[in-house]
Amino acid sequence: MSLAGKSVVVTGGGSGIGAAIATSFAADGANVIIAGRNAGKLQEVAAKAEGGRITTMACDVSEREQAVKLIEAATAKLGKVDILVNAAGVNMPKRMMHDLDPADWDRLMNINASGTFNTIHAVLPQMRQRKDGVIINVNSTSGVRAGMLGGVAYNASKFAVTALTHSVAQEVKDEGIRLTNLCPGEVDTPILEHRPTPVSSEHRSKILQPEDIAAVALTIANLPPRANVVEVVLKPTIQAFV
C-alpha cells in the first residue's frame, strides 16, 4: 500500500519528528501540509520535497482559533484531511517542581495537550462524516510512565495526550476512525537543546533519530482500515524503560 492521493496535516512540521514524518509521507505519495510557528523552518522542509507535495501554513496549535483555521484551510486546499499527525511539542530546562515556573506549566499544557485537543476537535467532524480517518499523536514515553527526565509539566502534558488519544479512539472506533498513541523515547531533535544538562554528540548518535519515528508512523498510516495500532512505545536500545 502507499499514501498516494492521501491528504495529510502535520503539526510541528518545521523540525524534528514532524519534519521527518512529513517528508516520509510526501515521498510515499501523500499531499502534506506542515504547520508550525516558524515559517522559515517550514519552508526549508517543504523545499526538500519533490513535486511540491509539501506546503506550509503558519499555526500556533495552542491557539484554538488558529488550529480551527488550519484544518479549514487544509481542507479547502486538499479537499479533505485523511490523516492528522500531531507532532507539535515543547519542554523547558527547569522541569522539577521546586524550580518549575507556573507560566511554563501553562505553556506546556497549552501546546502539548490542548494543542493536540484543538486539532483533533477541529478535524473529527469531517472524518466522522466520511467514516474514515487516521490520527497519529506523537507522544512520548513520558506519557506512559512519569520519569525524572521529562519533568513535571512535560510528563503531565503527555499523560493528558495518552488519555485523550485512548478516550477519543474508543468514542469513534465504530465510525471508521483510528487513533494511535506513538510514544518515542529519547530522539535526537531540537527539543534536546532545552535539557537542563547539555547532551553530548556521542549520546545523540546512540539514541533514536527522527526518521526512525517516521518509519513507524508511515507503517501505521499505511495499514488497512480494519487495523488500528492503539499504542507504540519505541525507545533507543540503550535506554532503560521501567
Q: Helix (H, G, I), strand (E, B), or coil: what is residue 237?
A: coil
Radius of gyration of the chain (CA): 17
For residue 148, what are the contacts with CB-CB under 8 A and spacing of at least 6? Answer: 96
**Strand-pair partners of 86:** 11, 137
CA distance 122 to 188: 30
Query: What strand order describes the sheet that includes 177-184?
Result: 54-58, 31-36, 7-11, 83-86, 133-138, 177-184, 231-234
Q: Which of 154, 157, 187, 218 is catalytic?
A: 154
Give catalytic status of residue 192 as yes or no. Answer: no
Q: What is the DSSP letter of 187?
A: B
Query: What are the catalytic residues?
Result: 154
